[in-house]
Structure 1
Amino acid sequence: MISALAWVRKGVAAEKPLKYEMTEEEYTRLQKTAATEIEEAKEELREKSKLDNEILNDPALKEFDLENYDDDEDEADVSVHGSDIGDTEESEHDAAAGANIFSNIKGLSYYKDGEEDPYITAKDGEDIEDDEEAEVQIFSSDNMLLVAKTEDDISNVEVCVYEGDSDNLFVHHDFMLPAFPLAVEWLDYRVGKKAEQPGGGNYVAVATFEPRIELWDLDTLDAMYPDLVLGTTDKKALRKVRGKPHSEFHTDAIMGLSWNKNARNLLASSSADKTVKLWDLNTGKCAQSYSHHKDKVQSVQWHPTEASVMLTGGYDRRVAAFDSRAPNAVSWWSVDADVESVMWDIHSPSHFYSATETGTICYFDIRAAEQGKGASPIYTLAAHDEAVSAMDQHPTVSGILVTGSADETVKVWDVRDNKPSMVVSRNPDVGGVFATKFCPDEPMLLAIGGSSGETRIWDMSTNPHIRSTFGDATVQANPVQEKPLLGLQGSENNDGDDDDDNAEAVIAELKGGGKKSKASSKVLDDDGDASMASE
């Protein structure tokens, strides 16, 4: 499944990414890590053996002789089939001995010099190196898309390249993750050992079920370790405080990330441990911890213009806005269900959106708050039948809001003049939709990811309903044929049933409750109506 997406701006990525090389220091680090892992595995084995002995010595189970329960059956299998196995191995050996590996090859030629062999096209090492560099080269006209993916219990971040001229999307390289990813955030700020190097960086911060944040250099191929880890890596210390708020690090799954583009060394994170933390990327330490929510904190976002103001939303059905320098002065807004995400309106920064588990979107005015209590929403939009699990707004065109849901639909809304109306609803064929992100460079280009493990690129500028609603007179007078959704090169579509079940299990684990009902496969037409209540 695809759990999170993020775009990288054009021209930021290195044209020729570096190949990762292990240093002596990292070899030593790897040995220490391996030794620690082995010791922890031995400890777990000792605990398991102790438990097994307790079970075997239980008087109530003695009569079943569990220790030798399968011995008779195994011996019978050997006595019955032993001679057959021996005969088979002998015949295979004889067949191999009598076969000549050149018996079916005619006209075999031998060349002392590779230059004479017509089948060898790479004549020297330099040509091979040139081919490898050309294969991984990234052009300034390319966009990069970061895809947080989990398949068969293996999680990674795929660094994809989108070639707009040829409508091509492919995986360039990837990073292995220690656990299921819940959020990714792109930042062009150097961290770790490369912090002192000139110029901006090209990094991705990844939040997972593990209570730490990993920052990976996107311009390095085949990296084994992140450049920076925020949070404790001491598993023993973590076990003692698991799930309990701690002032220096998270102790449970990290559910949201937000990089401060105005104070660029600051990264905020929200967690299932009920805290929000402020990280200093220069020191790699937690600079501040906030405990104002009473339940898991699902989402966090910095204000687009005010460097110290942030917005948080949690499973306590509340949204908080506050100045990080004065965390005790919090303004609260209540909603009807658990908060799935919060988002400032970048076109009107005194307003913000809140998406909930019941499928509603609330639009608030941050100025309408007295003594820490926020006013009712300007409007409430019944956007989906199930949870609004993805939400984004167009970065340059005011009034375009996109929502995605576990009901497997993506909807485009016209929210101008605070009178929301649905423009388009469609099924992008990704299962339950968990991520939608507008491209910062290409107009009306939307990335979509969901429970089936598929990624789609939707060029919304070719949709007739969107063109007629948001386009000027010139655009409306020149209709174009709508492009089909673009998928990853080489990916195979599947029904996504197993991934849907896994997605529900993830949600249930975060919620701390039972499984949710399976997302329906209902597809609404482009002219479908949406219910909306205004307050």
Structure 2
Amino acid sequence: MEDLRMVPDLLWIARGVAKSVPNKVKLDPAELQQLIQGSGNLDDESGEEEGEPMEEETPAEEKSAETDSDAKYRKHDIDDDKVEEAYLKDFDAEGEENAMRGVAMYASNKDDPYITQQVDSDEEEEKDDILIKPNDNLVAVAKVVKDEYNLDIYVYNQTNDDWYCHHHYILEAPPLCLETIQHDPGNDETGKGNLIALGTMDTKINIWDLDVMNACMPIVTLGEKPASKEGKSRKKRDGSQQGHSDAVISLSWNRNTPHVLASGGADQQIVLWDLDEAKAAQILPPRGAEVQTIQWHANEDTILLAGMMNGTVQIIDCRDNESPPVAEWKFGGQIEKVIWNHFDLQQAIVTTDEGLLSIIDTRKSNQVLSEARAHEGGVSGVSLSLITKGLLATAGEDQMLCIWKIEDSGALTKIHSTKLNLGELHSLKFNPDIGSILAVGGSAGELVRIIDLNKFEAVGSAFT
């Protein structure tokens, strides 16, 4: 992956979801006081101080038990008032030299008796820099740049024409898929949150809190398998894995049952996760091939649309593991994306790695309403406007962005196409608040771009 550059997935955060002033990770007050006093080295991995025995390590089994039983996500934000109170109270032992003494005697100027005029201009300026305005959207972008993996969080504001990276998170493994989650069991007041689930090349799903800047670790990891004494992953008594055994390549959050997240894996499994308990609640039988793409039904909380790499598309009722799919279709090539037509839930949209774009009748197996050769090569991205009925966009390996109109009958009409010079296109999504705005991710240039489809005359004419 030395020369690889790409945006495997991206998504929008609707206006009003993000906190206006995000939290920032800061030093724990005890760590701050320790640093000021010079009583220890924060970089000392052993945590051992001279003359004192090292603390006994917690057994792995106890750590695992704590993780499994913890039903609330751990937050990374620190109470600012506690940080300000963490001033130097004690001097070092006699004869010892503190390198920071005389330089940082107080954690906050408010605690220093020699400063009589308090100026908070720096703090206010910092808040202005990170402020999320009511008409701002966030765009989460998963990036692979050579051997570096990031989750970048951008701000987009149509009124001010703002587009900039607000903050980012460093990832340990290559990202493959993203999904927004507005359910936070750690929020005792509302239960809502601004979380994002991220599937990677390993078997785990990391969940990040986008309202916390500078976080080094996700707030929770789903599918982290505790090791047995022999160093192997533990399995259930029936021999099945407690989660995925291969890469997580698709995700979908259930808006009707907010504590449920579905994931599809390269292990051919679909796992339903209980977010309140942070563990797998149900594992569906193997689907016969890698589960490339999934999406929950907008109204039916047990109905899942899934597309596999063997060309199969299925509608699955998750209430019954033993029954066959509600409906099934077979296409040539691999399925790239499946999404519901949220303007007509009797239709769904399917794309393949052979360039095919299809509209299917979800009530009838193998019923295809219309098909079109959308791209030369795979159709790696497809998105339907949440506001403008029938406005569909596709992105392809041929570097082309194509705009389509879906008629009520399911018929497809190509409206416009353009080359974006972003290399191969891998992802695109419509803005949830503005019907004509697209975010597109590619593999060259700036990697991600915002497109206003109203600038294309043909699109404006077709949807007036």
Matched, 1:364 2:360: yes
Q: 1:396 aligns with which of 387, 390, 396?
A: 387
* CA displacement, residues 179-225 of structure 1 (integer Å, 9 cap, x when unaligned): 1111111121114xx24343521111111111111111111111121
Equivalent residues of 2:225, 2:233 under 8 A apart: no
Equivalent residues of 2:13, 2:180 under 8 A apart: yes
Q: 1:425 aligns with which of 404, 413, 417?
A: 417
* Structure 1, gaps ≥5 residues long: 34-122, 369-373, 472-535
What residue is the counterpart of 1:69 in the other structure? Answer: none
Alignment of structure 1 residues 81-96 onto 2, 5 Å: none
What residue is the counterpart of 2:458 in the other structure? Answer: 465
Matches of 2:120 and 2:31, distance apart in 1: 29
Q: Normalising by structure 1, what TM-score? A: 0.66
**Counterpart of 1:229 in structure 2: which amino acid?**
T
Q: Normalising by structure 2, what TM-score? A: 0.76
Q: 1:262 aligns with which of 256, 263, 277?
A: 256
Give the superposition deviation at 1:292: 3.6
Matched, 1:434 2:430: no
**Counterpart of 1:436 in structure 2: which amino acid?**
L
Alignment of structure 1 residues 438-517 onto 2, 5 Å: 438-452=430-444, 454-471=447-464
Matched, 1:282 2:276: yes
Matches of 1:364 and 1:216, distance apart in 2: 35
Matched, 1:165 2:159: yes
Matches of 1:255 and 1:235, distance apart in 2: 24
Going from structure 1 to structure 2, the CA distance change for 1:240 and 1:153 (only over 3 Å counts) comes to: farther
What residue is the counterpart of 2:11 in the other structure? Answer: 6
Matches of 1:288 and 1:460, distance apart in 2: 41
Matches of 2:429 and 2:156, distance apart in 1: 14
Matched, 1:415 2:406: yes
Identical counterparts, % of pairs: 29
Alignment of structure 1 residues 380-391 onto 2, 5 Å: 380-391=371-382
Going from structure 1 to structure 2, the CA distance change for 1:425 and 1:190 (only over 3 Å counts) comes to: same
Q: 1:154 aligns with which of 144, 148, 157?
A: 148
Equivalent residues of 1:178, 1:210 under 8 A apart: no
Equivalent residues of 2:234, 2:241 under 8 A apart: no
Matches of 1:274 and 1:427, distance apart in 2: 35
Q: Matched residue of 1:326: which SS?
A: coil
Matches of 1:395 and 1:308, distance apart in 2: 22
Going from structure 1 to structure 2, the CA distance change for 1:205 and 1:276 (only over 3 Å counts) comes to: same
Equivalent residues of 1:391, 1:402 under 8 A apart: yes
Going from structure 1 to structure 2, the CA distance change for 1:366 and 1:247 (only over 3 Å counts) comes to: farther
Going from structure 1 to structure 2, the CA distance change for 1:239 and 1:292 (only over 3 Å counts) comes to: closer
Matches of 2:189 and 2:413, distance apart in 1: 48
Give the superposition deviation at 1:421: 1.5
Equivalent residues of 1:7, 1:146 under 8 A apart: yes
Q: 1:295 aligns with which of 289, 296, 302?
A: 289
Give the superposition deviation at 1:32: 9.2
**Counterpart of 1:13 in structure 2: which amino acid?**
A
Give the superposition deviation at 1:460: 0.8
Matches of 2:220 and 2:255, distance apart in 1: 19
What residue is the counterpart of 1:205 in the other structure? Answer: 197
What residue is the counterpart of 1:342 in the other structure? Answer: 338
Q: 1:216 aligns with which of 199, 208, 211?
A: 208
Q: Which moved more, 1:357-366 or 1:279-288?
A: 357-366
Matches of 1:233 and 1:151, distance apart in 2: 28
Matches of 1:440 and 1:348, distance apart in 2: 18
Which of the pair has more CA radius of gyration?
A: 1
Matches of 1:134 and 1:22, distance apart in 2: 22
**Counterpart of 1:164 in structure 2: which amino acid?**
Q
Equivalent residues of 1:247, 1:289 under 8 A apart: no
* Structure 2, gaps ≥5 residues long: 1-5, 33-41, 48-116
**Counterpart of 1:465 in structure 2: which amino acid?**
A
What residue is the counterpart of 1:377 in the other structure? Answer: 368
Equivalent residues of 1:273, 1:296 under 8 A apart: yes
Matches of 1:235 and 1:154, distance apart in 2: 28
Matches of 1:382 and 1:26, distance apart in 2: 60
What residue is the counterpart of 1:71 in the other structure? Answer: none
RMSD across aligned positions (CA): 2.6
What residue is the counterpart of 1:72 in the other structure? Answer: none
Going from structure 1 to structure 2, the CA distance change for 1:327 and 1:22 (only over 3 Å counts) comes to: farther
